[in-house]
Chain A
Amino acid sequence: MLTLHGVSKVYKTGVFGGRELTAVRDVSFGVQPGEVVSLIGESGSGKTTIGRMVLRLTSVSAGTITLDGVDVATVKGGGLKDYYRKVQGVFQDPFSSYNPIFKADRVFAMIKDGYFPGVGAGEWRHKIGASLEAVRLDPDQVLGKYPHQLSGGQLQRMLIARALLLDIRLLVADEIISMLDASTRIDVLNLLADLKARGLGILFVTHDLSLGNYVSDKTVILRRGAVVEMGATGRVFGNPLHPYTRKLLASVPQLHRKWEPLEAEAEPAADGQALVQAEDDHFVAGGVRG
């Protein structure tokens, strides 16, 4: 469905844009319907930039992003509006995604004005009800309230409900649970799994390996803008091949297993090595060593 082919992003920095900063380097992967793909990386790895390029919030410097064969960079005007009918994003901070002056359900009204001006009030209410049910929210509890009266988890789920009103096919979820509490974040994660069962493709951007491991079918590990390892989640986490992936996994705090001293790295792996297939559905930059 969504395919990235050799995508790069170069920012011009410095006073006159004289210096170049490569945020994303030659990234290729795809998202199928009913599939959750995790983009995992530390800060500066380019994971958010990739999400923003898919959402057309940032231009692509090189390579192509296609949705059902159509190059995303070429859609304009009315076509762009149609694109957002199919692809929507939800971001990290639910509290700043809403305008605090207006009631939270205004996000639904804005969708109606923009995309469904002809739909009657009764039918629209029914649609909102169905959409809220899909994210397991009680309409009585959330409609007519201001953002500060709702919890972070409720706000985040309302944003997902808003995206569902549009019959989207792809959801870009950028760190959507990192600001939620431990006891509520798992509900939002399970919700993503429900959406997946409805045939939605989800691009799940996160820095948290344990969340990626829990929810995703495919995992892409990024470092400094380049893919270091990708493949089926079970293979990447079960049999990490790249030294960077191993280091990340060894650094994640886990319950029931204490940190061990890191094994010394023979040589720091160079950037920009080509991906090599190590086994079925499992690719590593630079191939398997030693």
Chain B
Amino acid sequence: MSTVSLRVEHLKVWYRTLRGDVQALDDVTFAVADGEIMGLAGESGSGKTTLGKSLIRLDGRMRHVDGTVELDGKELPIWDNGKMNGFRFKEVSIIPQYAMSAMNPTRKIGLLVEDLLESRGVGFAGLKAELDRRLELVELAPDVLDRYPIELSGGMKQRMVMVLSTLLNPSLLIADEVTSALDVSTQKAVAETLVGFRDRGFVKSMIVITHDVSLVYQIADTIMVMYAGKLAEKAPTDVLVGAPRHPYTQALISSLPEVGVRYDDKRLTGIPGTPPSLLRPPVGCRFRDRCPLAFDKCLEEPPFVEIEPDHFVACWKAS
């Protein structure tokens, strides 16, 4: 594999609450290669958004407990909000969840872009030509800069935010549920634009966070699955979907209804039970209570190990 762009080691980020710490991200170790689009899939509460946010900005309730994040060989000071300002937008950028409401409704979009660039000490005039070129690329007319966000449709706003987030060619882009609120046909266009950004070198590598495995199957090179604050499995896209090894991934993939299949009286099955509370997470494997393969050893925590080249699994039964 080519050179490593992002390396996350033993990262722990917890949420402070009145009832104790919620261990939303617990000892996460993985790497993203240069030019790799990694899909990050998981259910609500699995920690996927927390992971994305940790790489860019910890909000007030989040606490960096342990671990390091390295981007292009430089360590990201994710625990220091002020120091991170030097990296945000330039080195690592995000397309937030609900990008629809990410733009200031009282500013015209052009002024908003100027403000943003100014805050990073970059001149707007020098980038105007590039901005116009990129707007054209996502099929937005240059006059959107003279409009207010409310005058744009959902898909247009989404594309505008995508252009904005990647304007300074960040090394890493985090796209958090960017397509969830869009119609199927717009969803496809937006997802393909993300791939286009990578192919044109606007961003080097990308983490696409989603709850929809079938969406990242279309665009990602690798997929990582999270469960209850832990990594469950990471593998190249075709391997993860075609031959998953973690029981959670297997159950998740087999519970997805598909369009090209006739069901008639065939029934798919869900996963019984609910994910554990992360206030006091259970010892050992966190999927144990819902797992059909659980045995005694699952009381011990399974390590996230490479069982085949580029295929990592955290399960005793898989290794």
Asked whether A and B interact, the reply is yes
Contact yes or no, B211 A182, CB < 8 A: yes
Cβ-neighbour of B183 out of A42, A181, A237, A255 (below 8 A): A42
B187 CB contact (under 8 Å) in A181, A190, A253, A256? A253
Nearest-CB distance from B241 to chain A (Å)? 6
Cβ of A248 < 8 Å from any Cβ of B?
A: yes
A134 at the interface (CB under 8 A from B): no
Interface segment out of the listed B62-70, B166-174, B250-258, B296-304? B250-258
- Judge if A127 is at the interface, Cβ distance under 8 Å: no
Q: Which of A178-224 contact B (CB under 8 A)?
A: 181-187, 189-190, 193, 207, 209-211, 213-215
Q: How far is the CB of B317 from chain A (nearest CB, A)?
A: 19
Q: Are A254 and B252 in contact (CB under 8 A)?
A: no
The residues in B between 109 and 165 inclusive whose CB is less than 8 angstroms from any CB of A are 154
Asked if A253 and B261 make an inter-chain contact with CB atoms under 8 angstroms apart, the answer reads no
B188 within 8 A of A: yes
Interface residues of B in 227-263 (CB under 8 A from A): 241-242, 251-253, 255-263
Instruction: Specify the chain A residue showing the minimal Cβ separation from B227.
Output: A183
The answer to whether A181 and B256 touch across the interface, beta carbons within 8 angstroms, is no
Q: How far is the CA of A252 from the CA of B270 in the complex (A)?
A: 21
> Shortest beta-carbon distance, A185 to chain B, in Å?
7
A41 — nearest CB in chain B belongs to which residue?
B183
Kindly provide the distance from the CB of A160 to the nearest chain B CB, expressed in whole angstroms. Answer: 16
Least Cβ–Cβ distance between B43 and chain A, in angstroms: 4
Q: Are A247 and B213 in contact (CB under 8 A)?
A: no
The number of chain B residues touching the other chain, given as a range, is: 35 or more
> Given that A238-B262, A254-B259, A255-B258 are contacting pairs, would A183 and B271 also be in contact in the complex, using a CB cutoff of 8 Å?
yes
Q: How far is the CA of A251 from the CA of B242 in the complex (A)?
A: 21
Residues of A within 8 A of B191 (CB): 253
Closest to B215 in A: A253
Q: How many angstroms between the C-alpha atoms of A286 and B214 in the bound complex?
A: 33
- Flag if A209 contacts B184 (CB, 8 Å): yes
CB-based contact A181/B43 at 8 Å: yes
Residues of chain B in range 258-282 having any CB-CB distance to chain A below 8 Å:
258-263, 267-271, 274
Q: Is B316 an interface residue (CB 8 A)?
A: no
Q: Which residue from chain B places its CB closest to the CB of A258 in the assembled complex?
A: B218
> What residues on B are CB-neighbors of A43 within 8 Å?
154, 183
Bound: A183/B213 CA distance, A:
12
Given contacts A42-B183, A43-B183, A251-B185, contact A182 B259 (CB under 8 A): no
A277 vs chain B, min Cβ distance (A): 22
- Whether B185 contacts A182 by the Cβ 8 Å rule is no
Please pick, from B187, B218, B259, the residue contacting A210 in the complex, using a CB distance under 8 A: B259
With A209-B259, A214-B268 as contacts: A251 and B184 at CB distance below 8 Å: yes
Indicate if the CB atoms of B185 and A259 lie closer than 8 Å.
Answer: no
In the assembled complex, the Cα of A248 lies from the Cα of B188 at a distance in Å of: 10
Judge whether A211 and B257 touch: CB under 8 Å. Answer: yes
Q: Which residues of A contact B271 (CB under 8 A)?
A: 183-184
Interface of A is mostly: helix
Which residues 227-264 in A have Cβ within 8 Å of B in the complex? 234, 237-238, 247-249, 251-259
Residues of chain A within 8 A (CB-CB) of B268 are: 186, 189-190, 214
Report yes or no: A151 in contact with B274, Cβ–Cβ below 8 A.
yes
Q: For the complex formed, measure the closest distance between the CB of B20 and the CB atoms of chain A, giving whole angstroms.
A: 17
Q: Is the CB of B44 within 8 A of A181?
A: yes
* A253:B257 contact, CB within 8 angstroms: no
The reply to whether A255 and B184 form a contact with Cβ atoms under 8 Å apart is no
Chain B residue at minimal CB-CB distance from A183: B271
Q: Residue of A at shortest CB range from B257?
A: A214
Asked if residues A210 and B257 are in contact (CB atoms below 8 Å), the reply is yes
CB pair A257–B212 under 8 Å, yes or no, is no
Contact B262 A234 (CB under 8 A): yes
Most chain A beta-carbon neighbours within 10 Å: one of B187, B191, B217: B217
| CA A211 to CA B212, docked complex, whole Å | 13
Q: Say yes or no: B259 contacts A247, CB within 8 Å.
A: no
Given contact pairs A209-B259, A256-B242, A183 touches B270 in the complex (Cβ within 8 A): yes
The closest CB in chain A to the CB of B179 belongs to A253
- Let me know if B262 and A253 touch, CB within 8 A: no
B258–A251 CB distance below 8 A:
no
A248 touches B185 (CB 8 A): yes
Q: Is the CB of B259 within 8 A of A249?
A: yes
Distance in angstroms between the alpha carbons of A248 and B184 in the assembled complex: 7
Residues of A within 8 A of B154 (CB): 43
With both chains docked as a complex, state the minimum distance between the C-beta of A59 and any C-beta of chain B, in angstroms: 27
Which residue from chain A places its CB closest to the CB of B214 in the assembled complex? A253
Q: Determine the distance from Cα of A21 to Cα of B137 in the docked complex, in whole angstroms.
A: 33
Q: What is the bound-complex CA distance between A249 and B258, given in angstroms?
A: 11
- Find out whether the CB atom of A182 lies under 8 angstroms from the CB atom of B242: no
A50 to chain B, nearest CB (A): 18
- Choose one: B213, B217, B270, B274; the contact of A186 (CB below 8 Å): B270
Contacts of A255 in B (CB 8 A): 213-214, 217, 241, 253, 256, 258
| B residues in contact with A259, CB < 8 Å | 188, 192, 218
Q: Contacts A181-B44, A252-B184, A255-B258; is A214 near B217 (CB within 8 Å)?
A: no
B215 contact set on A, CB distance < 8 A? 253
What are the 3 A-B residue pairs with the smallest beta carbon separation, nearest first?
Answer: A214-B257, A42-B183, A183-B271
Q: Can you pick out 9 interface pairs between chain A and chain B where the beta carbons lie within 8 Å of each other? A: A182-B252, A183-B270, A189-B268, A207-B183, A214-B263, A238-B262, A247-B185, A248-B185, A255-B253
Q: Told that A184-B274, A185-B270, A259-B218 touch, could you supply 9 new A-B pairs with CB distance under 8 A?
A: A182-B212, A182-B252, A187-B270, A190-B267, A190-B270, A213-B257, A253-B215, A256-B241, A256-B242
Chain B residues with a Cβ under 8 A of chain A: 43-44, 154, 183-185, 187-188, 191-192, 211-215, 217-218, 241-242, 251-253, 255-263, 267-271, 274
